[in-house]
Structure 1
């Protein structure tokens, strides 16, 4: 193999490694939900090309309110599903939609669009 082919091969392998890390292995630290006067742990999530923030940290045994605001019209983002909590919510464009949960167990719980293209995590401590 010639040196230029080695360089292209190495660059391709590095690019594939970066893509795998960026889309599947990179873990955001997340944000801690704010405490409200009503006793809720609350966080605002923007839906635009994904969930921002995509990782929310809450405490076990206290009610959680996640406020979703969808800023796009892609059909995949029109709903959010919390499979492990048995909850889902329609997300109309431009509207604020609150999803209320009561996490009783410690762990990581996924939420996603119905097609699984947008995904996030609720970390319960």
Structure 2
């Protein structure tokens, strides 16, 4: 996410964009995330969509759930084929979630289906 001043809290020397705050116009409204693998864990790859570790289902779930909370300006890399996020350059290695300032598009979380309890035989497995 952006720092409070809108700049990227990124590693020194990395050329990305001017900040998720977009010059303080969107401070704290945008998030980059590493794509998820088949175990639901983030991983780093130059082009995650071409990796055998990439999970279409897990990443689609991230975008779908984020959308229910008002993140409706979302981007994926040009190699991606997920439903919803716009394909854009420089995002094959990470996803982007953009939060709308319109609160009318936020899903009522009370309408979400209940989370199923984890099967106790699977606990501790990763």
TM-score, normalization: structure 2?
0.29
Structure number with higher relative contact order (C-alpha < 8 Å, ≥ 6 residues apart): 1
Higher strand share: 1
TM-score, normalization: structure 1?
0.29
Higher helix share: 1
